[in-house]
Amino acid sequence: MDRLRCFRMMLRPKTHVFLSYSLSLLLIIIFFFSSTNAAFNNITTIPFNDGYSPLFGDDNVVRSPDGNGVRLHLDRFSGSGFISSNMYQYGFFSARIKLPSAYTAGICVAFYTSNGDVFEKTHDELDFEFLGNIAGKPWRFQTNLYGNGSTHRGREERYRLWFDPSKQFHRYSILWTAKNIIFYIDEVPIREVTRNEEMGADYPSKPMSLYATIWDASNWATSGGKYGVNYKYAPFVSEFKDLAIEGCSADPIQEIPGGAACSEKLDKLDAQDYATVTPRRRLAMRRFRQRLMYYSYCYDTLRYPIPPPECVIDPSERLRFKETGRLKFGGSHRRRSKRRGRTFTPVVEDDQAD
């Protein structure tokens, strides 16, 4: 299908949620895809049994027949998850993911790196968390990072998706190097955190494993807990395939990769096309954040009267947000929750205010 035909199909009157978004966003995404799709074409994937193992809910971790993917189920008895076989200090972590369909309020699907099982009080973490959905509303998700146990200094950003993530697979990726962190959806960078001296230990720096989980987060995930999981729609299934990790495995006790071979791998990682936010990618990221980011901790003056050191404050962008860090249609922070032992402060939101 040629690009023009594809674009015309996107403009047909439908009830699909992304039609409510700006035409300019769609144009920039199409332009971006048409020009830079080589960056993610050469990713080396790892069969599930070769690089991962069940984390919990073993009966709900269902491997694909070809061995290249897995389905995670949530039912009224258990959620499920998997973990990488190795830990890595810096790397590229990526998977094509399809989220559960139909009514999914209260469900959290997470794709993240962490070392909380090894460094319980000083853990690092990088998150994609998808926050469930109710009929007629766009899917919402958040990215977050923690360094050295800084759970009281959560760095959440929240967004809407410009597509329905339950209809087809999309690639979600986390690049983590000694100098920066980039979150990608397909080939669109949606967030970059650049390391600086002022961040200190808040910048994740210890070896981490890759995790994926699905679990019941009824008390906070969708509209701040207003809508919980309805198990008459169970099982809820999230699919993961084409899993990829580029990096060098590391001993968490030594905390540094060892040997010349690891140095070569990390140099190769830094040289990858996706390791740099080019001017074209930066434009796409800016468009995404202008149109679809609705909360940023950098503008949340209630939590952070002085923005954390990695924040780059844009005066024109600041005008769009309330003192809570949310866009000017409501929201607050008033709830605490736990995900398998990790405490954080999510953003409470009211869907009806959008």
Per-position DSSP letters for 210-229, written without gaps between them = EEEEEEE-TTTTTGGGTS--
* pLDDT confidence of residue 318: 84
Report the length, in residues, of the chain.
Answer: 354
Report residues of the chain scoring pLDDT below 70: 1-39, 136, 254-260, 328-354
* pLDDT confidence of residue 9: 44
> What domains can you pick out in the chain, each with its CATH number?
3-353 (2.60.120.200)
The residue annotated as part of the active site, out of 120, 129, 197, 246, is 129
The residue annotated as part of the active site, out of 120, 125, 156, 323, is 125
Is 125 known to be catalytic?
Answer: yes
* pLDDT confidence of residue 154: 86
Instruction: Assess contact for 352 and 343: CB atoms under 8 A.
Output: no
Measured distance CA(150)–CA(202) in Å, rounded: 7
The three-point CA angle 256-259-261 to 5° equals: 110
Is 239 known to be catalytic?
Answer: no
Listed in sequence order, the DSSP H helices in 163-252 are none
* pLDDT confidence of residue 344: 40
pLDDT tens digits, one per residue of 234-265: 999 999 999 999 998 888 776 555 666 788 88
* pLDDT confidence of residue 320: 85
* pLDDT confidence of residue 40: 73
> SS3 of 20, please?
helix
Pick from 313, 337, 310, 20: which is nearest to 155 by CA? 310
